[in-house]
Amino acid sequence: MFNHCPFSRRRKNKSCWGCYCTEKKGQIVNIEEAVGSISDCVEAAERMAGFNIDQAYVSINGDHIQSQNSQGLVAITESEGEIAEDDIYRVIEAARAISLPTAREIIHVLPREFIVDSQRGIKDPTGMSGVRLETEAHLVTGLSPAIKNVSRCVSDLGINVAGQVFTGLASSHSVLTETEKELGVILADIGAGTTSISVFIEGACSYSAVIPVGARKITDDIAIGLTSSIDTAERIKHYLSKGKGERDGDKPADEIDFEKLGIREDHLKTGSRKAITEGIIRPRLNEIFSLLRDVLKKSGFEGQTPAGVVLTGGGAMTAGALESCRRVMQLPPRIGVPSGLSGIVDEVSTPIYAASVGLILYGYKQKPQNSAGGVKLSGIFKKVPGKDMAGKALEFIKSFLP
């Protein structure tokens, strides 16, 4: 289950928040480097878990992601009019039957609601009686070449792709509550090069989009403003993003001692916290949330998200993010931290790993294989003759679940 793996070793010339040389705006630009990073992740995860990984879920991101809503309609096949799983499968496939450009493919068909003989608001119609079954579905699409590049990187390691999950949807599984989804909420996963957005209305994902701006732009702005290296700018951004209690040798004054941060650039000795946060970081945050506000208006769901905005991803930890979001969006914001796991999970209890944890939960929640196209989680992992490796894998993931 690959996104931003907490087990991967840092490779040479990599920043710990985003991978500058393998991807750009959420899309892979260097296959060889990407394969190397994923290989590190797989090796470390296999050592920790004690089994070999044969299949995996991967997250899909990038500004090529688009979404639209569709409808499906079928007649009930059972003579007694009882809705079966096959009927649900057929109506979802009917909603899937839309015209797309040649290079675009469907990643998700997400039912928003089912309608049985004009009765709306049904979440699961299985076993109900009726003559006609309809669905209102949300479709997430992406460019086929970009999706194939991700799959190729995983396949080159001998790992089969069990499923592809939009990053915004994956993160929603780990950071959103059911109450927020029912009330109406916006999820914004601020990554390095992009911000993935999912809007939930009445418990269902109803709009998805990606903004081609992320936290890397903030790093670039700091580097330009201070005429520093990217590594130095990243270190300063991380320092300012920490709580006051976490800052080593933090002074009550506005002054930052760069040398105490391990920064060795001759022209950078001290700096003003206020000048950097308000003069450099805040304008870029305001831009990101202005774009998010524009996306919400375009979605048609403006005014329908009283639960506010949940910020996650590494960019959510940026100094002043909550204040900027509240001011621009005029909605209550909070930082989304992965939940749903228990045990030794301190390393992943941070917004950075929202999508990674979400992929685990997404895979765990998949139904056993059936005619509706569900996937059994134990099928994700390799079975070795004489050993129940799939069962061991499932038990390993269960050990993290409450």
CB atoms within 10 A of CB 184: 19
Return per-residue pLDDT of the chain as tens, 402 residues.
Answer: 556 444 433 333 333 333 344 555 566 777 778 888 888 888 888 887 788 888 889 999 999 999 999 999 999 987 778 999 999 999 999 999 999 999 999 999 999 999 999 999 999 999 999 999 999 999 999 999 999 998 888 888 889 898 999 999 999 999 999 999 999 999 999 999 999 999 999 999 999 999 999 999 999 999 999 999 999 999 999 999 986 545 555 555 788 999 888 898 888 988 999 999 999 999 999 999 999 999 999 999 999 999 999 999 999 999 999 999 999 999 999 999 998 776 656 777 899 999 999 998 998 887 544 333 333 333 333 333 333 444 444 454 444 454
CB-neighbour burial class of residue 207 (10 A; exposed 0-12, middle 13-18, buried 19+): buried
Q: Are 167 and 189 in contact (CB under 8 A)?
A: yes
Q: Which amino acid is at 332?
A: P
Sheet holding 195-201, edge to edge: 204-211, 195-201, 185-190, 309-312, 333-335
Q: Are 26 and 143 in contact (CB under 8 A)?
A: no
Give which of 312, 7, 362, 17 is closest to 170, Cα–Cα: 362
Q: What angle do CA 188, 398, 154 make, to 5 degrees?
A: 60
Task: Give the CA dihedral 359, 361, 365, 369, nearest 10 degrees.
Answer: 40
Domain extents in the chain:
66-143, 217-279
SS (H, E, C) 325-371: HHHHHCCCEEECCCCCCCCCCHHHCCHHHHHHHHHHHHHHHCCCCCC
Output the pLDDT for position 218. Answer: 98
Specify the DSSP class assigned to residue 304. -
CATH 3.30.1490.110 fits 66-143, yes or no: yes
